[in-house]
Structure 1
């Protein structure tokens, strides 16, 4: 039996904050005394042991089996994937930290709008005896993307610093870096070019495959299954409200009208049934799942249709038998031995 089950989390930043919040929502509160403490426990789950480190180190430690699970950026994992043969992606998108890795050029390069323009430009640089310099901390991903576009004449400048300054300081001609809204690029007089998206990234959960096979073998009630099911339930419920609409007494046609209205306006899992009020009179109730931001746009029309009460309850967990397979089931299938054909 794997004990403790070691989970590696980023030591700081938005990847750390998002991971801790997600785990807490799933019932796995990380107990860390201070941000200088690099080990922690999870209340009520003694088999789990948490360690904190850089996102790049998380990939390495999971690959080597010192950590069994880890939260990192998909960009970081993809950059080191070739060496991480024993590390697998358990969940590619944990629902936060979304961004993309892009090729960005100076705004003043008005004739460079597409990756194909870089083919010509790098050829011109080579003919003039100059190196076309690309600053990035994602050398492997950059080389693979440039190769797909037939770009071979350039020099990678590896850097962990503020890459947006590199064209201005003449450290590099262009950069390949992460962006979410594009605001930082624009503020530094850079812009993304067409065909320049290298990768979509988000916070992801990775694991050490040999260890995961042992944990999967503990079954549906084992600690790995319970953790992954908890994360699934929290993520599925994000932004959803359980809507309860009640009316009556009697007037069953009102329930049908309410249910039809909700179904027509994007509500899911619309169910109607009979209930009784405090005086024992037959009344009706309709329940549904709705996007939290749409409840106020529903309530007036629901009242017009006969509702006496409209309640929106926050959902902490959501499990749907008709939804996609659970993360645990997908992982179990992925790790299962498949006979060669």
Structure 2
């Protein structure tokens, strides 16, 4: 027998249990699923190369992006809006470039593989959903969320139960936990693909008798088919749940999720140029996202001085702008002399307050109102950059 054989011996189990103090959880696994019989420490020692050595093996910085689906399309759109368009020679290729970022490679991967490869040292940065980071990262301290709100991919990981039968009058997680039906012999059956976050959530909320299982196809069908009592899945609008006679319950949301920029702590500290590249990406994201839904409003207004005009503008609460209005003289030549009878006012206004702001400007004497959308708003320093440096101990 090879000396390595005990470490790689594989065995199939129909289920395994996760034990916690005072109660147990069970995660059902398909019989075709193989679970390693060896300890994870032994596997790591033999199979995985140390992350530090992988960082030393290459000079280029690697960014992992989702390869398919709505998340992939929205990610490419965000990068394009930030003047970081991804250039692919062939759409079938898994490697691409962003010309504006030298020494950076883009790797298209499945979201869960992006997280795994960040942990293994094969990627340095990635854009995925927070749910994916939480499920496959499992709290690993090497993963750092650089930007936690990229404003797309919004969903929630939520527990849902049938609207009918024994669940008809159950509307909260507490009521579900207190149902006498759940015993050691007959636990609550939950179908899910989140076999880390699911048991963790149940443990934290005191549900004692729960069994988790995976199901082929749409999870929403599992309760109606009788193979599960509840499901734990990602929900966007909730329409699919309602159409399958399922409902979310109070306290049953495990996680609010959207797209995030995530990085390997070791890569940011050890790989040359990784921190600078991350800084540029972060600043572009922050500036663009802050400008979303904001408009520049410019108007001319008569006045005796800039201070007088500014006082009139600031008397209206929705005309303050980001830090206050910009007021400057508009010069014209009259009777051979240069005078400033008008002043130009420039303010930033959110879309939802746009019409009201225009009305207020006109009410205090504004005319010739011009409106244009904003592309970027750069701060003096990006707040998330300071947070990142703090996390890295820099």
TM-score by length of 1: 0.88
Which range moves more in the overlay, 170-179 or 158-167?
Answer: 158-167
8 A Cα contact 1:247 1:255, kept in partner: no
Instruction: Give the alignment partner of residue 126 of structure 1, picking from 166, 183, 186.
Output: 183
Seen in structure 2, the aligned counterparts of structure 1 residues 42 and 302 have a Cα distance that, compared at 3 Å, is same
Aligned to 1:277: 331
Which range moves more in the overlay, 133-142 or 239-248?
Answer: 239-248
Matches within 5 A, 1:164-183: 164-183=220-239
Seen in structure 2, the aligned counterparts of structure 1 residues 92 and 300 have a Cα distance that, compared at 3 Å, is closer
Aligned to 2:373: 314
CA distance in structure 2 between the partners assigned to 1:171 and 1:136 by the alignment: 12
Aligned to 1:239: 293
Seen in structure 2, the aligned counterparts of structure 1 residues 278 and 43 have a Cα distance that, compared at 3 Å, is farther
Instruction: Give the alignment partner of residue 150 of structure 2, picking from 66, 78, 94.
Output: 94
Q: Number of residue pairs matched?
A: 330
SS at match of 1:138: coil
Deviation per CA, 1:217-259: give whole Å up to 9, x if none: 777xx32221211111111111111222222374764553233
Matches within 5 A, 1:185-204: 185-204=241-260
Deviation per CA, 1:109-154: give whole Å up to 9, x if none: 2221111222233x52427x43421001112111111112211212
Shift of 1:205: 1.1
CA distance in structure 1 between the partners assigned to 2:367 and 2:245 by the alignment: 56
Aligned to 1:288: 347
SS at match of 2:323: strand
Matches within 5 A, 1:1-341: 3-33=59-89, 35-82=91-138, 84-108=140-164, 109-121=167-179, 123-126=180-183, 129-159=185-215, 161-214=217-270, 222-248=276-302, 250=304, 253-261=308-316, 263-264=317-318, 267-279=321-333, 280-282=338-340, 283-321=342-380, 325-336=382-393
CA distance in structure 1 between the partners assigned to 2:189 and 2:339 by the alignment: 78
8 A Cα contact 1:63 1:85, kept in partner: no
Seen in structure 2, the aligned counterparts of structure 1 residues 73 and 168 have a Cα distance that, compared at 3 Å, is same
CA distance in structure 1 between the partners assigned to 2:376 and 2:296 by the alignment: 11
CA distance in structure 1 between the partners assigned to 2:141 and 2:263 by the alignment: 11
CA distance in structure 2 between the partners assigned to 1:216 and 1:95 by the alignment: 30
Shift of 1:93: 1.9
CA distance in structure 2 between the partners assigned to 1:159 and 1:50 by the alignment: 33
8 A Cα contact 1:103 1:175, kept in partner: yes
8 A Cα contact 1:229 1:326, kept in partner: no
CA distance in structure 2 between the partners assigned to 1:23 and 1:259 by the alignment: 37
8 A Cα contact 2:313 2:320, kept in partner: no
Shift of 1:160: 6.3
Shift of 1:106: 0.5
SS at match of 1:76: helix
CA distance in structure 1 between the partners assigned to 2:209 and 2:222 by the alignment: 19
Shift of 1:179: 1.0
User: What are structure 2's unaligned runs of at least 5 residues?
Assistant: 1-55
8 A Cα contact 1:246 1:285, kept in partner: yes
Shift of 1:320: 2.8
Shift of 1:296: 2.3
CA distance in structure 2 between the partners assigned to 1:155 and 1:218 by the alignment: 43
SS at match of 2:84: coil
User: What are structure 1's unaligned runs of at least 5 residues?
Assistant: none
CA distance in structure 2 between the partners assigned to 1:70 and 1:185 by the alignment: 30
8 A Cα contact 1:58 1:70, kept in partner: yes
Shift of 1:281: 2.9
8 A Cα contact 1:31 1:42, kept in partner: yes
8 A Cα contact 2:296 2:374, kept in partner: yes
Shift of 1:67: 0.6
CA distance in structure 2 between the partners assigned to 1:90 and 1:274 by the alignment: 39
